[in-house]
Amino acid sequence: KSPSPRQNMPVRYFIMKSSNLQNIDISQQKGIWSTTPSNEQKLNGAFWESSVVYLIFSVQGSGCFQGFARMGSAIGCEKSQDWGSAGFGGVFKVDWIRKESIPFQFAHHLLNPGNDSKKVQ
């Protein structure tokens, strides 16, 4: 098997905030996600310029992460009716790695250098 052309590229991580648990459930069942158009360019850039992009999901106000997935495709133009017309952009594939509620306190040792070294949550 030939090596991936992106194997020497950096790994990227993004916290994906959801307004509700239903969207997380849909994502876990269908292996898709959709975000606001303002996030699409950043995620697509990371997808093409990184060896892998990990998405860590959290419902706003939950105090927990609900799991994490690998970004499985670039974001396309096709929209999904699963999220209604709540201002979301195109759909992309996600490969769920872990589906589990993890309290933020277990990640307090992780700091985000791209956000003034604040705690990851």
Query: So where are the chain's domains?
Result: 11-119
At position 46, the amino acid (one-letter code) is A
Q: Express as a percent the part of the chain with pLDDT over 70.
A: 75
Name the CATH architecture for the domain at 11-119: Roll (3.10)
pLDDT greater than 90 at residue 103: no
pLDDT greater than 80 at residue 47: yes
Instruction: Check residue 10 and give its pLDDT.
Output: 86
Instruction: Check residue 2 and give its pLDDT.
Output: 41
**What is the pLDDT of the chain when averaged over all its residues?**
83
Mean pLDDT across the stretch 12-38?
Answer: 91
pLDDT greater than 90 at residue 33: yes
73-96 pLDDT tens trace: 999 888 888 776 567 888 999 999
Could you please report the per-residue DSSP string of the chain?
A: -PPPTTTTSPEEEEEEEES-HHHHHHHHHHSEEE--HHHHHHHHHHHHHSSEEEEEEEETTSSEEEEEEEE-S---S---GGGTTSS---EEEEEEEEEEEEEGGGGTT-EEGGGTTEEP-
Mean pLDDT across the stretch 33-59?
Answer: 92
Q: What is the pTM of this model?
A: 0.81
Q: Which residues pair with 57 in a beta bridge?
A: 16, 67
